[in-house]
Amino acid sequence: MEPEPEEAGAAPPHSPSNPESTPAHAETDNQSTTSTVSRPISGVVPPYWRRHDRNISQASQSSLRGITLEDHTADPDSETTRGLWARSVAIDDHVVVRGMTGVGSYVVWNCTIQTLDVRGPIVLRMRYSEFDDLRQRLVTSFPHARSALPALPPKSVLFKFRPKFLESRRVGLEYFLNCILLNPEFSGSPIVKDFLFGRIC
C-alpha cells in the first residue's frame, strides 16, 4: 500500500533534531527564558525612584532658621542705628502750581518726616526734579549701594496731572524716601541732611 501524498501547504512535523522545524514562537520563548536567566537582577535602585517621606514643613524646620527681630531704636550708639534720625516718612498730598497761561505748571509734594526725637515732625515741599537730583547725588556718592536705591516713578508728559498718575507717583516717591531715610548709611550722610534740612518749611 503506497503512502498518501502530503497535502500542499501542510506544516512539516516538529522534530527536535531538526532546528529548522522549531516554531518561531518557541524560539522567542527560549530566547526570553535564556536572557532572563543569564542576566543578573540588580539590587541598586536609582535615587529618583525611591520614596521620600520628607514633607515641606519638615524640610523648612530642619534647613531654615527662624528670623530674629531686634529693636535698636532705644540705643543711639548701636552700629545698626548710628546716623538714623527718622522714624517714618509720608507724602500726604500735593499741590499743582500753574503758570500764568497754564504753561510751565508743576506739582509740589508735601512730605512729613516723623523723627526719633521729641522735636516733632519735619515738613518738606519737594518737586519731582528735586527727588531726581537727590537720587543722582546718592548714586554718585554710594556707587556700592546702587541696588539699595529704588528707581523713581516714571515721567509722563500726557498724564502728569491726572489723578491716577499722581497717586501712583506719590506712592513711588514715598517709597523712595522711606528707603533713603530709614537706611542709616544714607540718612546719616551729609548729602541727605544738607539736601533735606535746607528745604524745611
For residue 158, the tally of other CB atoms under 10 A from its CB is 7
User: Which range among 47-51, 52-56, 80-84, 100-104 has the greatest average pLDDT?
Assistant: 100-104
What's the pLDDT tens digit per position in 95-134? 999 877 667 889 999 999 999 987 789 999 999 999 999 9
pLDDT above 60 for 71: no
Report all structural domains of the chain as residue ranges with CATH numbers, in order of start. Answer: 86-197 (3.30.1520.10)
- Cβ(145)–Cβ(132) under 8 Å? no
Q: CA 181 from chain center: how many Å?
A: 24
Please give the average per-residue pLDDT across 54-62, as a whole number.
50
Distance between CA 130 and CA 153 in Å, rounded? 13
Q: CA 176 from chain center: how many Å?
A: 19
- The H or E element spanning position 62 is helix 56-63
Please, which residues have CB within 8 angstroms of residue 186's CB and are 6 or more apart in sequence?
138, 142, 145, 148, 179, 180, 192
Which pLDDT value is given to residue 134?
A: 97
Which pLDDT value is given to residue 98?
A: 87
Q: Per the structure block, which three cell numbers stand in for 122?
A: 519735619
Q: What is the DSSP letter of 200?
A: B
Q: Quickly state the pLDDT bin for 157 (edges 50, 70, 90).
A: confident
Q: Per the structure block, which three cell numbers stand in for 183?
A: 537706611
Please give the average per-residue pLDDT across 22-42, as a whole number.
50
Task: Please compute, for residue 160, the number of CA atoms within 13 A of its CA located in the half-sphere on the CB side.
Answer: 17
Q: What is the pTM of this model?
A: 0.59
Please give the average per-residue pLDDT across 168-197, as a whole number.
94
